[in-house]
Amino acid sequence: MSRGNLDPETEKAYHNRLEEALKAGYDILATGGSSIDAVVKAINIMEDEPMFNAGRGGVFTNDGRVELDSSIMDGKTLKAGAVAGVTTIKNPINAAHAVITKSRHVMLAGVGAETFAAAQGLEIVDPSYFRTDLRWQQLLRARERDAIELDHDGPSGMLDHRFMEDLKDPFMNDVKYGTVGAVALDKHGNIAAGTSTGGLTNKRYGRIGDAPIIGAGTYANNEAVAVSATGIGEMFIRTAAAFQIYARMRFGGETMTNAIQNTLNEIMAIDGYGGVIAIDKNGNYTAGVTPGSGMYRGVIGPDGKPRTAIFADETF
């Protein structure tokens, strides 16, 4: 994202909401709660906030639906849960968590996931709950581009060529992201990671991104690191990004910073971009983004004071 396209009021609103999410997670951790519960709580705040591309305010598919993906992983037990392509679950991260606690599975998709969530008593909403005007405008913009390019383009490889064209459009770039994620370490020494998203604007054919895929968008293992990712999901899946960061640290002996940088390099080598947040069991944390990208991010430690940043060159 570029500085010029974010007005001070919106910038402030992002900082405020991030602080709220950090404090909500902190409250759980400060009272001895688990990292996984803190991750769920922090993500809930962002799912409920339309300015992020998760829960309410998720982006639209080509046929005008909001299809949400989410996953969560517990670094102590390696238990993981995910839901993909859901359209009626108010907080997909809660459903992903319920997959861990209430099912014997790891990933549930579509109608089945929605039936499961309803059976667990999770809040179910009409799909219209997720709609926002900004996201609708984005879809119209993306569809317009499709129309312009229809006569001379076509699918190229796994990723529809038209997605790549969207990515070059500054309007799309500045507003399309907003996938949310959280990583946490609790007093018991356990780490956890979670991710929730609407995916990519104008996605089609039931496209599922990296966010609900354990090892791509989310991974946590107490032995090394908890990771949550955002970016062009296809490249994060192809590089097994979150798992790759873990594996570089665990088996390759790389530092967290190097593991993230080397993984982002692999993503860039296949024309992907995005970023990750990560924490280890000693409380070391870092956020990494590919050059030119920005990422709304924040951290809260034992002092309970949230610190947030947006642009790539900001430290916090």
- Applying CB under 6 A, the span of 25-33, 185-193, 206-214, 250-258 interacting with ligand ASP comes to 206-214
Contact, 105 vs 129, CB < 8 A?
Answer: no
Q: Does 197 bind ligand ASP (CB under 6 A)?
A: yes
Q: Which two tokens stand for residue 283?
A: 């409380």
How far, in Å, CA of 182 to CA of 306, rounded? Answer: 14
Residues 6+ apart with CB under 8 A from 184: 25, 29, 35, 36, 38, 39, 42, 191, 192, 226, 279
How far, in Å, CA of 144 to CA of 305, rounded? Answer: 44
Choose, by CB under 6 A, the member of 50, 233, 272, 294 that binds ligand ASP: 233
Nearer to ligand ASP, 92 or 231 (CB): 231
Q: Does 209 bind ligand ASP (CB under 6 A)?
A: yes
Q: Does 227 bind ligand ASP (CB under 6 A)?
A: no
Q: Which of 61, 179, 201, 239 is catalytic?
A: 179
Contacts to ligand ASP from residues 254-283, by CB under 6 A = 274
H-helix segments, the chain: 8-30, 35-48, 92-102, 110-119, 133-149, 161-168, 170-176, 233-238, 241-250, 256-269
Minimal distance, residue 218 CB to ligand ASP, in Å: 10
Radius of gyration (Cα) for the chain, nearest Å? 18
Provide the residue type at 83 as one letter: V
Active site residue 179: yes
Site pattern 41..80 for ligand ASP (x: CB under 6 A): ------------x---------------------------
Choose, by CB under 6 A, the member of 231, 288, 294, 298 that binds ligand ASP: 231
Choose, by CB under 6 A, the member of 179, 190, 293, 308 that binds ligand ASP: 179
Q: Which two tokens stand for residue 98?
A: 């319920």
Nearer to ligand ASP, 190 or 239 (CB): 239
Q: Does 210 bind ligand ASP (CB under 6 A)?
A: yes
Find how far residue 268's CA is from the centre of its chain. 18
Nearer to ligand ASP, 177 or 243 (CB): 177
From edge to edge, which strands make up the β-sheet containing 225-231? 218-221, 225-231, 274-279, 285-289
Q: Does 85 bind ligand ASP (CB under 6 A)?
A: no
Residues designated catalytic = 179
Residues found near ligand ASP in the complex (CB under 6 A):
53, 177, 179, 197, 199-200, 209-211, 217, 230-233, 274
